[in-house]
Amino acid sequence: MYRRKLNKERIEILAKEYSTRSEWSIKDSSSYKRALSYGKEFFESIAPPKLYKSYSKEEIKDIASLYSRRRDWEVNNPNSYYQARAYGREFFESIAPPKVNKQWTDKSLRKEASRYKSRGEWSNNSASSYQTALRKGKEFFESIAPKKKRRG
């Protein structure tokens, strides 16, 4: 079995091959762990922590306006998303208001159900209206739901 020599000089060279600490720890865990064993000062001198951009409230508002859903914002720009949350609930909800649940009336349920060709399509694309119709009873649900197609 081949054992490579992992002295400080060799580790410095290896560390430069990776753009992040995570990448380094995954692709070459032995040199990463050895670098850690040399102490925090040495480790941070060759692999400084990634610094995240700090956003002002105005910058966060601009970024948030690019997304229609909170989840999209969180996935695509998590740094600004979590900074906005750190500013407090009032600020966060002023730029990303919570989703408001729609109140379904019988008329709006009929209209929504008529948009779909099958019950599965309706359930997948408008789960809240589908579940509301089910809760109103079997007779109501059957009267507005897309008709089942017979197989065979």
pLDDT at residue 133 greater than cutoff 90: yes
* Residue pLDDT, tens place only, 34-57: 999 999 898 888 887 776 778 899
Question: What are the start-end ranges of the E strands in 72-126?
Answer: none
User: Which whole number is the average pLDDT over 24-38?
Assistant: 90
1 in any annotated domain: no
Sign of the alpha-carbon torsion through 109, 110, 114, 115: negative
- Domain span at residue 88 reads 57-95
- How confident is the model at residue 101, as a pLDDT? 67
Does 132 fall in a domain?
yes
Residues 13 and 41 placed together within one structural domain of the fold: yes
What string of H, E and C letters represents the secondary structure of 47-71? CCCCCCCCCCHHHHHHHHCCCCCHH
Give a yes or no: residue 2 inside a domain. no
Query: Does the predicted model carry a pTM greater than 0.85?
Result: no
Give the tokens for residue 147.
């008709």
The model's pLDDT over 5-25, given as tens digits with 9 standing for 90+, comes to: 888 999 998 888 887 788 888
**pLDDT (0 to 100) of residue 51:** 63
| Averaged pLDDT for residues 129-139 | 92
* pLDDT beyond 90 at 148: no
- Note the pLDDT tens digit of each residue in 62-116: 999 999 888 889 888 888 999 999 999 999 999 988 776 678 999 999 999 999 9
Spatial contact of 6 and 30, defined as CB atoms under 8 Å apart: yes
Residue pair 124/100 in contact by the 8 Å Cβ criterion: no
Angle at the Cα of 85 from the Cα atoms of 80 and 90, rounded to 5 degrees: 125
Residue 149 lies in a domain: no
Domain presence at residue 115: yes
Query: Could you give the number of structural domains in the chain?
Result: 3
Residue 119 within a domain: yes
